[in-house]
Amino acid sequence: MRVSKADGSQATDLQRDALLEAGVEPEALYEDKASGKSDDRPHLAACLKALRAGDTLLVWKLDRLGRDLRHLVNIVHELTERGVGLKVLTGQGAAIDTTTASGKLVFGIFAALAEFERELISERTKAGLASARARGRKGGRPYKMTPAKIRLAMASMGNKDTNVGALCKELGITRQTLYRHVSPTGELREAGQKVLAQRR
């Protein structure tokens, strides 16, 4: 069971009643109060962990389980490999019951759509990067380090009295980022060389 808000404005009574009526024991009910997009759903994690081969996971509606289609497919794939079924009681996914042949077929269509979605996203990403490169732009995460920051870091690290923590705070970077670009003695490292080369 899941509701999106933990402030008491939403209740799981309807879901609870439907699951109990379907034969779920009260002690086998799991409830999260979190957005469907949230990764932090401890009771879902506990539920998935408790399932054993031969069990069937019952959910009221499909959107109570997964964040998106890909997440759902991954969950069901993992359950299937463990010999666990999935049954959806109502809503758009009510035809899904992976313990039956027809239910497996329906979910197979879902899985194919998820794979299609992944390929589309991949194609769009590649096309976008190619278009950006054609215009002279390079893809990827922007550098936290700039040539000016690197030169300041080199000069500061060359001074043995430099407070590394204060320097990182001033530059807005972590120690890991600093040491990846500049050595403790102020010498330029490979990552730093790349930044300077990119900005020429």
In angstroms, the CA 47 to CA 115 distance is: 26
Q: What digits encode the pLDDT tens for the residues 23-69? A: 999 999 999 887 766 667 889 899 999 999 999 999 998 888 876 77
- Token code pair at residue 82: 């463990």
Give the chain's end-to-end CA distance (angstroms, integer). Answer: 56
Is the model more confident about 47 or about 12?
47
**Cα–Cα nearest to 1, from 83, 72, 58:** 58
* Residue 35 is a catalytic residue: no
Class of domain 2-115: alpha beta
Tell me which H or E stretch contains 131: helix 101-134
SS (H, E, C) 148-188: HHHHHHHHHHCCCCCCHHHHHHHHCCCHHHHHHHECCCCCE
Per-residue confidence (pLDDT) for residue 20, from 0 to 100: 95
Domain boundaries, the chain: 2-115, 147-198
pLDDT digits (tens, 9 = 90+) for 127-175: 877 777 787 766 555 557 888 888 889 989 888 888 888 888 888 888 8
Which of 61, 71, 49 is closest to 95 using CA atoms? 61
Lookup: tokens for 45: 């994690």
Q: Which amino acid, 58? A: L
Residue 22, pLDDT score: 92
Q: What is the mean pLDDT of residues 107-136?
A: 75
pLDDT of residue 66: 75
Tell if the pTM clears 0.85, that is, is over it: no
